[in-house]
Amino acid sequence: MGTITLSMVIQVLSMLLVLLLFSFNSTNVAAKTLTKLLPAEREALLRWKGSLDYDRSSFVKSWNATTLSCHTLDGITCNKEGSVIGIDLSHQNLHGTLNHLNFSSLPNLSILNLQGNYYLNGSIPQEIGTLTKLTQLDLSYNSFSGELPISLANLTSLIHLDIHGNRINGTLDPRLFSNWSQLEYLRLSSNLFVGKIPPELGILKKLTRLFLYCNQGLKKLTRLFLSYNQISGSIPVELMSLENLNELDLTSNYLTGPIPSTIQGLKKLTRLFLSYNQISGSIPVELMSLENLNELDLSNNNLTGPIPSTIQRLINLTSLSLELNHISGPIPVSLFHSTKLLFLYLHSNHINCSIPQEIGNHIPLLELKLSDNQLSGQLPWSLGKLSSLKVLELSHNKLAGSIPEQIGNCTNLISLRLNGNDLYGRIPYQFGELIYLSDLDLSGNSLTGVIPWQLGNLVRLSSLNLSHNKLSGKIDPFISKISESSSYLNRFIDISHNKLEGPLPRFENVRELYVGNNKDLCVEYFCDFASCYNDDIPECLTKISKVKNSIVIISIFSIVFLALLVAGIYYFCRKRRKTSEHNK
SS (H, E, C) 131-179: CCCCCEEECCCCEEEECCCHHHHHCCCCCEEECCCCEEEECCCHHHHCC
Quote the pLDDT of residue 217. 56
Is residue 239 included in any domain, yes or no? no
**Residue of 179, 82, 67, 170 whose CA lies nearest to 123:** 170
> Model confidence at 31, in pLDDT bands (50, 70, 90)?
very low
Is residue 305 included in any domain, yes or no? no
Quote the pLDDT of residue 377. 97
Distance (Å, rounded) from C-alpha 374 to C-alpha 382? 20
Is residue 141 included in any domain, yes or no? yes
Q: How many residues does the chain have?
A: 584
Q: Say if residue 99's pLDDT is above 50.
A: yes
Please tell me the least confidently modeled range out of 75-79, 435-439, 571-575: 571-575
Half-sphere exposure in the Cβ direction for 173 (13 Å, CA): 12
Domain stops at, among 164, 193, 220: 220
DSSP-derived pairing of the beta strands 302-305 and 278-282: parallel
Residues above pLDDT 90, as percent of the chain:
59
**Which pLDDT tens digit goes with each residue over 357-404?**
999 987 799 999 999 999 999 999 999 999 999 999 999 999 999 999
> Model confidence at 182, in pLDDT bands (50, 70, 90)?
very high
> Model confidence at 1, in pLDDT bands (50, 70, 90)?
very low
Distance (Å, rounded) from C-alpha 470 to C-alpha 274? 44
Is residue 350 included in any domain, yes or no? no
Is residue 258 included in any domain, yes or no? no
- Collapse the DSSP code of 422 into the 3-class scheme (helix H, G, I; strand E, B; otherwise coil) and give the result: strand
**Which pLDDT tens digit goes with each residue over 288-316?**
999 999 999 999 999 999 999 999 999 99
Give the domain CATH number at 208: 3.80.10.10
Quote the pLDDT of residue 240. 86
**Which pLDDT tens digit goes with each residue over 249-261?**
999 999 999 999 9
What is the mean predicted confidence (pLDDT) over 193-213? 83
Quote the pLDDT of residue 25. 45
Strand partners, 369: 345, 393
- Residue 485 lies in domain: 416-560
Is residue 80 included in any domain, yes or no? yes
What is the mean predicted confidence (pLDDT) over 56-78? 76
Please tell me the least confidently modeled range out of 4-13, 32-41, 169-178, 191-200: 4-13
Is residue 356 included in any domain, yes or no? no
Q: Which residues of 134-163 are buried (b: 16+ CB within 10 A; e: fewer)?
A: bbbbbbbbbebeeebbebbbbbebbbbbbb
> Model confidence at 470, in pLDDT bands (50, 70, 90)?
very high
Q: Say if residue 512's pLDDT is above 70.
A: yes
Is residue 317 included in any domain, yes or no? no
Domain stops at, among 190, 220, 250: 220
Domain stops at, among 204, 220, 236: 220
Quote the pLDDT of residue 9. 44
Indicate the average pLDDT of the chain.
86
Domain count, the chain: 2
Quote the pLDDT of residue 144. 96
Residues above pLDDT 70, as percent of the chain:
84
Quote the pLDDT of residue 564. 75
**Residue of 220, 164, 226 whose CA lies nearest to 189:** 164
Quote the pLDDT of residue 409. 96
Residue of 199 and 553 predicted with greater confidence: 199
